[in-house]
C-alpha cells in the first residue's frame, strides 16, 4: 500500500520516528493496532529532515524489541525503503488495525488520537475490549458473491479519484488493488466492504445497506403524516449523493441580496448535512440486519439515525476529541473518493458549521443499538440578560464575536483585547466554559470555542 509522506504531517495514521526509540515505537505500534492502523516512518523528522540514524541491521533488532513490548505482539506489514523526492531514503512500515486489543508490557492500553498516543482509562478499556470481540465484519467474504457482482465502472471511478488524491497511479492490476484495500479476499471473493463500495446491487446481499428518507409535515412522526418517502439503494457513494440530492430538494431555501451579491440561505448548513450523512454511512454497524440508515426531516429538525452505538472507546463526552472507525476499509475508500477530507474532523465540522450559521449545536444521542444526530433549523436565541449581568466587558465582547463568526480562538480574543494579558483572557474563556456558556473544541493550537 502506498503512503504519501512527502508533504504530510504526523496524524491519525502517520508517525515519524527520527531516532531509535524503542519505547516510542512500541507505543505507536500498539496505538495504531488498537485504532485505525497507520504507517511509521523511520529516519525522518516531522520537519522533513532525513536523520540517517537507522541502518537495516539496527531496524531488525529495534522492531523485535518493540514487538515484544506489545501483548499480544503487533503485526507489521510491508517494511521497505522509500526514496524521498528531495534526496535520502527512509524506512516505512505499515501497522494494520488489529481485531484484538493490544496492551504494552507495562499494562497500558494506548490508542491513536490525532498525532498523539493516548492512554485509555478503565471504562474506555472495557468499551474497546467489548467491541473487539465482535470481529471484523467488513472484511468477511460474502457467500455466493463473485467479482461479477462488482461494478467495473464504479471501480474505475474510484481508481481515478484515488489517483487524483494521492498524485500517483496504481501500477498493479485491478484485482491486486481490490485485495490491497480489503475489497476481496485471497480467493477473489468480494468482502462486505468491497460489496458496499463497488457492488452493482449491494442490497441483494446486504438488504440493510440502504437508506430511508421521510419528510414529515409537522414536528412529530404522527398526526399530519408525511409528504415524501424515499428508499435509496446502491453502492455507498451513490447512497450519499442520492440522499443529499433528496434532502436538498426538500430543504427550505431563501435568497438574500446583499449589494450586488445574491446569497442563498438554506434551512440547514450544507456542510453539516453532508458530514452527518457521510458519518452515518461510514460508521454504522452493518452487522445489524433489518434496519437501514434513517433520515427524518421534520418542520423544526433533521434527524439522522445510524444503526449501531458508538464504536470502540468513543463516548458522547469525547466524540469531538477522539477518532475511531468501526469500518476502516469503508472509511478509507470514501476518503479516497473525496467524501472525507481528514480523519476525525467530521463531527467538528458539523458543530462549527451549525453555530457559524446561527443554529444551535447538534443534539447527539447514543444507545447500544443506534446513534442519532439532530440538526435544528431554529435560530440561536440571544444570550439571556442574566448571563450578561455577571460577565465582564471582555467576555461580552467575546460572545458578540462568536455570534457574528460562529467561533473564537485564543488568538482572536487577544486581538479583540490587545491590552489585556494572555493569561487573563485564557481565564475569561475557562470561566465561560465552566459556567456552561461556551464549549471548548480541540486541544493546544487547534483549540477554539463555540456557544454551548
- pLDDT tens across 89-108, in order? 888 999 988 888 899 999 99
Relative to beta strand 226-232, strand 211-216 is antiparallel
pLDDT in tens, 182-193: 999 999 999 999
Which ranges constitute the DSSP H helices of 69-191? 122-132, 152-166, 174-180
At CA 275, angle to CA 274 and CA 277, rounded to 5?
Answer: 65
pLDDT, greater one: 33 or 445: 33
Of the given ranges (111-125, 150-164, 200-214, 290-304), which has the lowest mean pLDDT? 111-125
106 vs 79: CA distance, rounded Å: 26
pLDDT for 231: 93
pLDDT at 382 over 70: no
Q: Tell me, what's the pLDDT at 4?
A: 58
Q: Which residue has the cell 517494511?
A: 79
State residue 255's pLDDT score. Answer: 56
Least confident of 156-165, 260-269, 311-320, 321-330: 260-269
Domains 14-121 and 208-376 share a fold: no
Higher local confidence (pLDDT), 82 or 276: 276
Tens of pLDDT, residues 276-291: 999 999 999 998 888 9
- Range with the lowest mean pLDDT among 131-140, 171-180, 250-259? 250-259
Helix/strand/coil for 185:
coil
C-alpha cell read off for 289? 440486519
What are 138's three cell numbers? 467488513
Per-domain residue ranges of the chain? 14-121, 139-202, 208-376, 385-451
Q: State how beta strands 370-376 and 293-297 pair.
A: unpaired
- Bigger pLDDT: 389 vs 209: 209
Secondary-structure class of domain 385-451 per CATH: mainly alpha
Question: What number does CATH give the domain 208-376?
Answer: 3.30.565.60
Please indicate whether residue 209 or residue 122 has the higher confidence score (pLDDT). Answer: 209
Mean pLDDT within 148-175 = 91
Model confidence at 257: pLDDT above 70: no
pLDDT score recorded for residue 68: 87
Give 369-372 contacts, CB < 8 A, sequence gap 24+.
369/288, 369/307, 369/308, 369/309, 370/291, 370/305, 370/306, 370/307, 370/308, 370/309, 371/280, 371/283, 371/305, 371/306, 371/308, 371/309, 371/310, 372/303, 372/304, 372/305, 372/306
Q: Counting runs of H as helices and runs of E as strands, what totals does the chain give?
A: 15, 18
pLDDT of residue 48: 80
Report pLDDT for 385.
45
Instruction: Tell me what the mean pLDDT of segment 393-414 comes to.
Output: 86
Distance CA 266, CA 271 (A): 11
Which DSSP symbol is given to 443? S
Write down the pLDDT at residue 318.
82
Q: Span 253-267, mean pLDDT?
A: 62
Fold of 14-121: 3.30.950
Length of the chain: 452
Amino acid at each position: 500500500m502506498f503512503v504519501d509522506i512527502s508533504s504530510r504531517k504526523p496524524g491519525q495514521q502517520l508517525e515519524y520516528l527520527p531516532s531509535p526509540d524503542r519505547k516510542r515505537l512500541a507505543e505507536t505500534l500498539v496505538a495504531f493496532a488498537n485504532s485505525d492502523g497507520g504507517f511509521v516512518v523511520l529516519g525522518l523528522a516531522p520537519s522533513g529532515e532525513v536523520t540517517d540514524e537507522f541502518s537495516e541491521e539496527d531496524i531488525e533488532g529495534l522492531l523485535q524489541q518493540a514487538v515484544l513490548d506489545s501483548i499480544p505482539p503487533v503485526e507489521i506489514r510491508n517494511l521497505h525503503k522509500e526514496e524521498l523526492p528531495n534526496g535520502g531514503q527512509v524506512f516505512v512500515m505499515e501497522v494494520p488495525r488489529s481485531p484484538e486489543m493490544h496492551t504494552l508490557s507495562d499494562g497500558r492500553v494506548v490508542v491513536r488520537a490525532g498525532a498523539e498516543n493516548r492512554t485509555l482509562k478503565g471504562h474506555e478499556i472495557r468499551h474497546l475490549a467489548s467491541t473487539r470481540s465482535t470481529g471484523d465484519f467488513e472484511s468477511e467474504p460474502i457467500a455466493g458473491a463473485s467479482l461479477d457482482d462488482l461494478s467495473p465502472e464504479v471501480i474505475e471511478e474510484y481508481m481515478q479519484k484515488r489517483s487524483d488524491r494521492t498524485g500517483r497511479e496504481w501500477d498493479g492490476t485491478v484485482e491486486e488493488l481490490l485485495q490491497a484495500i480489503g475489497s476481496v479476499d485471497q480467493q477473489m471473493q468480494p468482502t462486505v466492504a468491497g460489496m458496499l463500495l463497488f457492488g452493482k446491487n449491494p442490497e441483494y446481499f446486504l438488504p440493510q445497506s440502504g437508506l430511508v428518507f421521510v419528510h414529515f409535515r409537522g414536528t412529530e412522526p404522527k398526526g399530519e403524516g408525511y409528504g415524501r418517502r424515499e428508499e435509496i439503494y446502491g453502492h455507498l457513494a451513490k447512497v450519499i449523493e442520492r440522499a443529499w440530492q433528496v434532502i436538498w430538494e426538500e430543504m427550505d431555501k431563501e435568497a438574500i441580496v446583499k449589494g450586488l451579491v445574491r446569497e442563498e440561505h438554506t434551512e440547514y448548513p450544507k456542510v453539516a448535512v453532508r458530514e452527518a450523512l457521510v458519518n452515518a454511512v461510514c460508521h454504522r454497524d452493518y452487522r445489524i440486519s433489518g434496519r437501514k440508515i434513517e433520515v427524518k426531516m421534520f418542520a423544526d429538525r433533521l434527524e439522522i439515525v445510524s444503526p449501531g452505538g458508538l464504536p470502540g472507546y468513543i463516548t458522547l463526552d469525547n466524540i469531538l476529541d477522539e477518532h475511531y472507525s468501526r469500518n476502516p476499509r469503508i472509511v478509507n475508500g470514501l476518503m479516497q473518493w473525496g467524501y472525507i477530507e481528514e480523519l476525525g474532523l467530521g463531527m467538528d465540522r458539523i458543530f462549527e458549521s451549525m453555530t457559524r450559521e446561527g443554529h444551535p449545536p447538534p443534539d447527539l444521542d447514543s444507545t447500544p443499538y443506534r446513534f442519532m444526530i439532530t440538526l435544528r433549523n431554529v435560530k440561536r436565541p440571544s444570550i439571556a440578560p442574566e448571563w450578561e449581568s455577571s460577565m465582564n466587558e471582555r467576555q461580552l465582547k467575546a460572545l458578540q464575536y462568536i455570534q457574528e463568526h460562529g467561533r473564537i480562538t485564543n488568538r482572536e480574543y487577544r486581538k479583540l483585547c490587545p491590552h489585556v494579558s494572555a493569561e487573563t483572557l485564557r481565564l475569561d474563556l475557562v470561566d465561560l466554559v465552566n459556567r456552561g456558556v461556551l464549549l471548548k473544541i480541540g486541544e493546544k493550537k487547534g483549540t477554539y470555542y463555540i456557544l454551548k
